[in-house]
Amino acid sequence: MARRRVVVTGIGALTPIGNTRQAYWDALVAGTSGAAPITYFDASKFKTQFACELKGFDPQDHFDRKEVRKMDRFTQYALVASDEAIQDAALDLAVLDKSKAGVIWGSGIGGLETFQNEVLNFAEGNGTPRFNPFFIPKMIADIAPGMISIKYGFRGPNFTTVSACASSANAIIDALNYIRLGYADVMITGGSEAGVAKASIAGFNALHALSTRNDDPATASRPFDKNRDGFVMGEGAGALVLESLEHAQNRGATIYAELTGGGLSADAYHITAPHPEGLGATSVMENCLADAGVNFTDIDAINMHGTSTPLGDVAETKALKDVFGEHLYNMNINSTKSMTGHLLGAAGAVEAIASILSIKHGVVPPTINHKTADEQIDEKINFTFNKAQKRAVSMAMSNTFGFGGHNACVLFAKMD
| Structure confidence by residue, pLDDT tens digits, 81-131 | 999 999 999 999 999 999 999 999 999 999 999 999 999 999 888 777 889
| Range list of β-strands (E), 226-366 | 235-244, 257-266, 301-303, 332-334, 363-364
Q: What is the mean pLDDT of residues 378-387?
A: 96
Q: What is the CATH number of the domain that holds 127?
A: 3.40.47.10
Burial class (CB in 10 A: 0-12, 13-18, 19+), 361: middle
pLDDT digits (tens, 9 = 90+) for 305-337: 999 999 999 999 999 999 999 999 999 999 999
Domain boundary among 219, 250, 281: 250
- State how far Cα 272 lies from the chain centre: 18
Q: Which helix (H) or strand (E) holds 139?
A: helix 135-139
Judged against a pLDDT cut of 90, whether residue 2 lies above it is answered with no
pLDDT digits (tens, 9 = 90+) for 357-370: 999 999 999 999 99
> Within this chain, do residues 267 and 200 fall inside the same structural domain, yes or no?
no
Q: Is residue 291 part of a domain?
A: yes
> Within this chain, do residues 343 and 322 fall inside the same structural domain, yes or no?
yes
Q: Which helix (H) or strand (E) holds 333?
A: strand 332-334
Q: What is the mean pLDDT of residues 258-273?
A: 97
pLDDT of residue 330: 98
Residue 66 pLDDT grade (very low, low, confident, very high; cuts 50, 70, 90) = very high
Judged against a pLDDT cut of 90, whether residue 150 lies above it is answered with yes
Cβ neighbors of 346 (< 8 A, separation 6 or more) are 77, 106, 107, 167, 168, 190, 191, 192, 193, 234, 235, 236, 237, 238
pLDDT of residue 137: 97
In 3D space, the residue among 110, 116, 114, 119 whose CA is nearest the CA of residue 74 turns out to be 110
pLDDT of residue 128: 79
Q: Which of the residues 52, 165, 288, 409 is marked catalytic?
A: 165
Judged against a pLDDT cut of 80, whether residue 52 lies above it is answered with yes
> Within this chain, do residues 77 and 221 fall inside the same structural domain, yes or no?
yes
> Within this chain, do residues 199 and 305 fall inside the same structural domain, yes or no?
no
Specify whether 305 is catalytic: yes
Q: Is residue 256 part of a domain?
A: no
Task: Kindly report the backbone phi and psi dihedral angles of residue 155, in degrees, each rounded to the nearest multiple of 5, phi listed first.
Answer: -110, 10
Q: How far apart are CA 394 and CA 411, in angstroms?
A: 11
Neighbours of 270 (CB within 10 A): 13
Q: Which of the residues 342, 370, 406, 409 is marked catalytic?
A: 342
Residue 42 pLDDT grade (very low, low, confident, very high; cuts 50, 70, 90) = very high
pLDDT of residue 377: 96
**Is residue 403 helix, strand or coil?**
coil
Q: What is the mean pLDDT of residues 56-77?
A: 97
pLDDT of residue 126: 75
> Within this chain, do residues 194 and 278 fall inside the same structural domain, yes or no?
no
**Is residue 196 helix, strand or coil?**
coil
Q: How far is CA 17 from CA 13, 38, 257, 301, 365, in A?
A: 10, 15, 23, 22, 13
pLDDT of residue 379: 86
Q: Is residue 1 part of a domain?
A: no
pLDDT of residue 87: 98
Judged against a pLDDT cut of 90, whether residue 253 lies above it is answered with yes
pLDDT above 70 covers a percentage of the chain that reads: 100
Mean pLDDT over the full length of the chain: 97
> Within this chain, do residues 132 and 23 fall inside the same structural domain, yes or no?
yes
Q: What is the mean pLDDT of residues 373-388?
A: 96
> Within this chain, do residues 290 and 148 fall inside the same structural domain, yes or no?
no
Q: Which of the residues 247, 275, 305, 370 is marked catalytic?
A: 305
> Within this chain, do residues 71 and 162 fall inside the same structural domain, yes or no?
yes
Q: How far apart are CA 242 and CA 186, in angstroms?
A: 6
- State how far Cα 49 lies from the chain centre: 23
pLDDT of residue 73: 98
Judged against a pLDDT cut of 80, whether residue 1 lies above it is answered with no
Specify whether 342 is catalytic: yes
> Within this chain, do residues 209 and 285 fall inside the same structural domain, yes or no?
no
> Within this chain, do residues 181 and 295 fall inside the same structural domain, yes or no?
no
Give the domain range for residue 40. 6-250
What DSSP designation does 385 have?
B
In 3D space, the residue among 292, 319, 302, 307 whose CA is nearest the CA of residue 403 turns out to be 307
